[in-house]
Amino acid sequence: MEKYLVSARKYRPSTFNSVVGQKALTATLRNSIATDRLAHAYLFCGSRGVGKTSCARIFAKTINCTNRTPEGDACNECESCRAFNENRSLNIIELDAASNNSVDDIRALVDQVQIPPTTGRYRVFIVDEVHMLSQAAFNAFLKTLEEPPGYVVFILATTEKHKIIPTILSRCQIYDFNRITIQDMVDHLTYVASQEGISVESSALNVIARKADGAMRDALSIFDQVAASSMGNITYQSTIENLNILDYEYYTRLLDAFLNQDVPQALLIYKEIREKGFDSLFFINGLASHLRDLMVARDPKTLCLLEASDEARQSMAQQAVKCSPQFFYKAMALCNDADLNYRTASNKQFLVELLLIKLCQLLSPSPIDAGDGEGQLKKITPANATPQPQQPQQQPQPQPQTQPIDPAPTATVQQPVVVTATYSRIPQPIHPPQRRTGLKTPNISLKGGLKKAEDVAQAAVKQQDRNNNFSDQALDSAWETYISSHPTAHILINTMRVARPQRIEGNRFVIMVENPGQVELMKNALPDIISYLANQLSNDHISFEITINEGESSPHVWNSREVFAHMLQEVPHMQELVKRFDLTLS
């Protein structure tokens, strides 16, 4: 009875033509052999199961063949080829660097390099997983790798090229192996199934190819596993059951629940998935991958990005037209956020259920009255309720500054009068936003559009239309009251004491300050001051302009130390009193 060999060994490539998914690379190697332009060192890089070691063996066998075919392949009849096929060739030495990674192992390899071939032209040394060599072993290998004898060819293979030191890379010709596409794997598995007499469904082979993740060896191993469990009849159902893969039917049902905004149905489907034993993180990643596939299947231009059979592409394209691109973008973003938060979530089931609820709400109206936009459920209001006008936001009170400055100027300011703006309590009509330095603007959300902001402003104007007449004395009294109510804002109250408002006409006033610093201070404080004065004087039409005084300095307001010094000069006995009781000004 013939001994059983797994498919990965039985159908291992023996010629360049039989290598799956690496046509460009094998053509380059074949041409270099045909023209006898061989390098002394090669580096084969790529992920697992893509044919690196197989190509190295085929290359070593072919360059020693004495009777190559017209296509450039080994003849399998000469002594060198027979010795290789029977695993007794002394010209092809394989070394596993994962278990032979010390300096002594490399020195033993260097000693073998000195022995010329007994038959054939070359001695080929295949070093697999070369990135596992230690730093000292790499250094011991450098000189021999750079200048080996003319009959020596080194073929290094690795899955992690970034771990190899640059001095090794610079001495080799580097060949990067591609991940094998799903279609190439399906074609090769179909060939293997025909040779083994196994009946298969193309959809089942597609599932196996996706599970292999670009590795042909993994695909053949999975193929053997499914064939054994299904007794030689590989169906789609038996494949997903054996490999514990979530059926696309669940994702299709979930998509329908999202489009119908059916939260209970989505949660029940997730319950079925959990009861079948699937991990929630696996489910999140699978859902994200399915949404991505639907997105690329929706546009014929990106359909080529979908690695699937033609039937699967057509089916997914029909499902994808039900959704807009914006739906896919937002849904994939939600899945990505859930994937990032999954590892730190204390209640992982709740996290997934919340994700499904959000996905069901993607097509529901937004909470604003107009119903524009997407993202949340529309707020439900009673039919007999009347909409209430929105109150304008109160301006925040400015924070007092802590560093004292002398408001009085030391010299005449040589610059033109600065009129910054007219400040009024009445909201102005909304125009396209323009940047105005130093002004505090209301915090209006743009989500509802500019028209929404205009409605808010108009409602505020209707509510605030007080226009009571008041005298300059009444304004000065309210101004002083505001100063008294802010005892800790030292810089502001000193400025306000000096810069008393003067009426221009009607309800327009001017505030004259001494320097640009006070201009900025008053600009920040005016919204709160105007609001206070409007309430005190019952007038919503008060407006102020700020200017810088170019004439004589305003009357200087003494601080505590200046008052104390004046008293010492004017009161004869004050100085004696201070000395006797050792008084100081705190």
CB 100 within 8 A of CB 125: no
For residue 504, report the phi and psi dihedrals to the nearest 5 degrees.
Answer: -90, -60
CATH: 3.40.50.720, 3.40.1620.10, 3.90.940.20, 3.40.50.300. Which one for 7-176?
3.40.50.300
Boundaries of CATH 1.20.272.10 in the chain?
A: 248-360
Pull the structure tokens for residue 466.
């007080």
What is the spatial distance between Cα 102 and Cα 332, in angstroms, rounded to a whole number? 48
Question: Is residue 335's pLDDT more than 50?
Answer: yes
Residues whose CB is less than 8 angstroms from the CB of residue 218 and which lie 6 or more positions away in sequence, other chains included: 48, 49, 211, 212
pLDDT value at position 210?
86
In this predicted model, what pLDDT tens digit does every residue of 454-509 receive, in sequence order? 554 555 555 557 888 888 888 888 888 888 888 888 788 888 888 888 888 888 88
pLDDT value at position 82?
86
Calculate the alpha carbon distances from 379 to 354, 366, 392, 452, 459 in Å. 19, 8, 22, 17, 21
Strands 543-548 and 423-424: antiparallel
In this predicted model, what pLDDT tens digit does every residue of 404-448 receive, in sequence order? 434 443 333 334 344 444 555 554 444 444 444 444 444 444 444
The topology (CATH level 3) of 248-360 is Zinc Finger, Delta Prime; domain 3 (1.20.272)
pTM of the model: 0.56
Pull the structure tokens for residue 159.
């899955």
CB 376 within 8 A of CB 364: yes
Boundaries of CATH 3.30.300.180 in the chain?
A: 423-548
Higher-scoring residue by pLDDT: 127, 403: 127
Q: Which of 77, 75, 72 lies closest to 17 in space, CA to CA?
A: 72
What is the spatial distance between Cα 369 and Cα 490, in angstroms, rounded to a whole number? 46
The topology (CATH level 3) of 182-243 is Helicase, Ruva Protein; domain 3 (1.10.8)
Boundaries of CATH 1.10.8.60 in the chain?
A: 182-243
Read off the pLDDT of each residue in 109-130 and give the average, rounded to a whole number.
88
Pull the structure tokens for residue 327.
């739906």
The answer as to CATH 3.30.300.180 being correct for domain 423-548 is yes
Dihedral (Cα; 474, 479, 485, 488), 10-degree rounding: -160
Name the most confidently modeled range: 141-145, 395-399, 544-548.
141-145
